[in-house]
Amino acid sequence: MLFARLFVTLNFVLTYFRSDKEIKRCFYFVYLSLIRNFVTEMKKKHGFMRLLAGMPLRILYLISDVAYPIVYYIIRYRRRLVRENLKCSFPEKSEKEIICIEKAFYHNLCDIFIEAFKCLNISDEEMRNRVEIVNYELPERIASEGKNVFMLLGHCGCWEWVQEVCTRYKNPRKNCEIYKQISNKYFSSLMHEIRSRWNTEQIETKKSVRTMLQWNKEGEPFLCGFIQDQRISGTKSKDLTTFLNQTTPIMPVAEEIALKANAELVYLDVEKTQRGHYRMTFCEMPVPEDLRQRPFPLTVLYFRLLERTIQRQPEIWLWSHNRWCKWDLV
């Protein structure tokens, strides 16, 4: 990275060169090297953004620390909606506890943007140190049985870092992510660049079912991630469940596709162990007895597992989404 090269070079200069003439000559070469690297980076797509993302996370988190009071106190981004969602989800908590979670959520939200942005310029070694993957043998076992793997998760922590899981197992070798097209071309291109860091297949929502059914016919196992904790606009729910103390309509997208694509569902539990560090655990999804008569038992089970994840660390979930259609608070 550019900043690392600068530090190493300056340290070398100050250590091994004593005379003013030698130092001036070395600084001249450092200057040329910086210009050359800067021009090279700028020629790349989103070059300036990549250059900024090259800064250490501890520096980038300072931007998050500055952004937090602006977002929370000045812009007040969806604060009424977030407060109401928290109150309804945790009726047993006091006003002081709700506000404490609310503030922690907004600070975490700023961190998430920084961590997603960092994907433009972060090494494999740093990602491995920051993300711990537990029980990654589970998708390997399922793939060895000739099945595909559908990984269910929620908007917990930095969900853009979840693709790091595909670097820990050897099989399935093919991994994909379903995305919704962003209308703004620049941000659509930027998000594509961020998500392509792990070389996973990115499938547009409208083409997802057809693509996965075709892959299943080809016979090579694949893993696909599904985030199903948001409300899908323009679609009718097929079942209801109680999620975070509220009646919640659900869309069993992954469960329905899994039946057609020979896939087994697993849940990915995400825990934030410290700032910029996560533990992600693959969990099996055996259907409990009380859900066997439900039309979509695995989807209901997914919401139960997600609820446990959220209750453990409520501040890391995306409370600003209008999950329960409170339009007057948006």
pLDDT in tens, 8-62: 555 555 555 555 566 556 655 655 565 565 455 444 556 677 778 889 999 999 9
pLDDT for 113: 94
Report which secondary-structure segment, H or E, holds 123: none
pLDDT in tens, 271-299: 999 999 999 999 999 999 999 999 999 99
pLDDT in tens, 240-260: 999 999 999 999 999 999 999
Where is average pLDDT lowest: 12-16, 143-147, 192-196, 324-328? Answer: 12-16
**Residue 325 CB coordination number (10 Å):** 10
Burial of 34 (0-12, 13-18, 19+ CB in 10 A): middle
- The phi, psi pair for 120, rounded to 5°, reads -65, -20
Terminal-residue alpha carbon distance, the chain: 41
**Nearest in space to 67 (alpha carbons), one of 130, 34, 111:** 111
pLDDT for 42: 46
Spatial contact of 196 and 164, defined as CB atoms under 8 Å apart: no
pLDDT for 47: 66
Q: Rounded to a whole number, what is the largest CA-CA distance in the chain?
A: 83
Would you say residue 309 has pLDDT above 60?
Answer: yes
Spatial contact of 161 and 127, defined as CB atoms under 8 Å apart: yes
**Residue 168 CB coordination number (10 Å):** 17
